[in-house]
Structure 1
Amino acid sequence: MTGTTIDGFDYRRLPGEGGVHLNVAIGGAGDPIVLLHGFPQTHLMWRHVARELAGRYTVIVPDLRGYGASGKPEETSPDTYSKRTMARDIVTIARDLGYERFSLIGHDRGALVGVRAALDHPDTVTHLGILDVLPTMDTWDVLHGVDAAVAWHMYLMAQPKGLPERMIGAVAEDFFSSFLDAWDPSGTTFPPDVRRHYIDSSTHAVPSIVADYRATAGIDLEMDRADREANTRLAMPVGVISQDWGARLGFDASALWRKWAPDASYQPIDAGHFMAEEKPGDITAFIRELVHRTPARIDSGTSAR
């Protein structure tokens, strides 16, 4: 890894939904795997895993819209940063690279985009890997009482446009640094240059990051509810790897995921939230096992949207 790029990977700017250009790292050769990052990170969180996977696969690692070096359109409607729009970004750039079908692995925010992509494009996403997050609808359902304070930032960024952006912008470095500190129990996961990159990238993207989270409390939640009412299920092999943060909040993450994917595998991991950087070997092994599974024939009840 050199600076803010992944060694051995080529970089392109590719148009996503509505002409928003994404910064995309591409490496390796073979069946395609798309890796989507979380908050408050960029595609660089996958640097260790991507290099390992590139020995056998074509690995596509974008910055999500609103993050890193990708385009940051103004939030002109609730759909600007909906996970449906962000999922279309990913499907569009993969097709631009010549791939109509691909495995999709997401962490945190990227996993929410991945879930929406798999629900909306079941014939495109062949395998879905999810790192340390719940579906949008279930996230809000399990947060209650004092324990919901763990997600205080979600409630702040769910507020109407204006005040959250000003509040976070006033202390942006402290705000984003607090998550890198709180969610990294070892305190050694991020080299100084990578930590600096995450902070700088995030402080320059406050409006778009807030818009991403605001969508999760609005339009994304509506989409999840509509799919739940329609009994829409994830039709491809699904693997989930997560900390056991359900123990504190009183829920069973594996049971919640199986409402969406009855045959989903669930694997706990002894790691912090930034597990792809803390334990890249474990995450690489998780991905390799997942993409080797034979897709099951399950009626998803969806068509591309």
Structure 2
Amino acid sequence: MTYQTPEGDAAGRPEELTVPVTGGRLAVLRWPATTPDAPVVLAVHGITANALSWGPVARLLAGRVTLIAPDLRGRAASAGLPGPYGIPAHAADVAALAEALGLRDAVLTGHSMGAFVAALTAVRDPARFASVLLVDGGVGFPAPTGLTPDELITAVIGPAMQRLSMTFPDRDAYRAFWQAHPAFAGSWSPSVDAYVQRDLVGHEPELRSSCLIDAVRVDGVGLFAPEVLAAVHRIPLPARLLWAERGLLDEPQGLYDEQRLKAAGLDRERVPAEQVPGTNHYTLLIGEDGAGVVARHLLTAAGLPADRLG
């Protein structure tokens, strides 16, 4: 592995490293624990996100665990990795990351699409993990019929797909774009700003998202593949789902509700599911309250007391 910023620390800027995967090297962020024998959490981001989406959770964990989060291929510092893309490819990358770092009994977690990646990884390679936490993702539904791939992806992720074709004159313009997003109202912080800025590539006045449209297209369609849909029902480890009350645009209907989970056939005894009130799809991970709930569940899963957060 290649260490790029060894000055990383648990509460602030993470270490950056790379690990070998098929086709090249995967970029990874690591917030190290303050003790060498602390538990490890491996965290997977969503379809148009990057590793710094886990920054608010890392800040609250404050070094009690080592938090490791990759940039998935086709995004941010892993944008140069070639295809094939898709949920199985990301699961293979996560397994390769766990092997490269010698992980055993790590807590595996993922947000949104990352939850589907985590579920499939747990099914395919359970020996390296102790438990799984799914954050507003991982439980799927059959694909709507009669839609083109792009229409299907737009139905899943909404205006996030449009953003990938946009350009921005400077970083302030990109910041303003996100601050105007209805899901981010009242939830802006330095950690969120760092996450958003990590996504930008190119040069002024034509900055753009690092997310490759082809990767997002393949990944979005792949969420409806039978193996991916089945993974949450086959996880051989203790697992839990946290789901947001509200949706991607802070609309009242979230990705999940009791009826949708029942329709999906989720076995609530095998995978207990808990709504997190007052959160939307994004703020469940990057908002102060939502990140606190995720951090507490990760600490509990790691066998640590969760009665106080950083």
TM-score where L is the length of structure 1: 0.71
Any residues of structure 2 matched to 1:74-113 within 5 Å, and which? 74-75=82-83, 80-113=84-117
Residue 303 of structure 1 corresponds to none
Following superposition, the deviation at residue 42 of structure 1 comes to 1.7
Paired residues in the alignment total 271
User: Is 1:242 aligned to 2:243, yes or no?
Assistant: yes
Following superposition, the deviation at residue 40 of structure 1 comes to 3.4
- Maintained 8 Å contact 1:84/1:120: no
Query: Which consecutive unaligned segments of at least 5 residues does structure 2 have?
Result: 1-6, 202-206, 305-310
Residue 282 of structure 1 corresponds to 293
- Maintained 8 Å contact 2:46/2:114: yes
Q: 1:210 and 1:172, CA in 2 relative to 1: closer, same or farther beyond 3 A?
A: farther
For residues 217-253 of structure 1, what are the alpha-carbon distances to aligned partners after superposition, in whole Å with 9 as ceiling and x for unaligned? 148614236x47xx96112111111113487378535
- Maintained 8 Å contact 2:153/2:217: no
Q: What amino acid is the match of 1:197?
A: Q
Any residues of structure 2 matched to 1:15-26 within 5 Å, and which? 15-26=20-31
Following superposition, the deviation at residue 23 of structure 1 comes to 2.9
Residue 143 of structure 2 corresponds to 140
Following superposition, the deviation at residue 10 of structure 1 comes to 2.3
How many Å separate the matches in 2 of 1:11 and 1:268? 33
- Maintained 8 Å contact 2:164/2:209: no
User: Is 1:56 aligned to 2:64, yes or no?
Assistant: yes
Q: 1:170 and 1:266, CA in 2 relative to 1: closer, same or farther beyond 3 A?
A: closer
User: Is 1:265 aligned to 2:272, yes or no?
Assistant: yes
Residue 171 of structure 1 corresponds to 166
Which sits farther off after the overlay, 181-190 or 43-52?
Answer: 181-190
Higher helix share: 1
User: Is 1:31 aligned to 2:44, yes or no?
Assistant: no
For residues 161-198 of structure 1, what are the alpha-carbon distances to aligned partners after superposition, in whole Å with 9 as ceiling and x for unaligned? xxx8xx76542559994697132243535668436505
Q: Give me the identity figure in percent.
A: 18
Q: 1:172 and 1:187, CA in 2 relative to 1: closer, same or farther beyond 3 A?
A: farther
Following superposition, the deviation at residue 205 of structure 1 comes to 2.6
Following superposition, the deviation at residue 127 of structure 1 comes to 0.9
Q: 1:256 and 1:100, CA in 2 relative to 1: closer, same or farther beyond 3 A?
A: farther
How many Å separate the matches in 1 of 2:64 and 2:191? 27
Q: What amino acid is the match of 2:28?
A: N
Q: What amino acid is the match of 2:106?
A: F
User: Is 1:47 aligned to 2:55, yes or no?
Assistant: yes
Following superposition, the deviation at residue 206 of structure 1 comes to 3.9
For residues 85-128 of structure 1, what are the alpha-carbon distances to aligned partners after superposition, in whole Å with 9 as ceiling and x for unaligned? 11111111122112144211111122121111112123333211
Q: 1:221 and 1:21, CA in 2 relative to 1: closer, same or farther beyond 3 A?
A: same
How many Å separate the matches in 2 of 1:210 and 1:42? 16
- Maintained 8 Å contact 1:31/1:57: yes
How many Å separate the matches in 2 of 1:195 and 1:8? 11
Following superposition, the deviation at residue 7 of structure 1 comes to 2.0
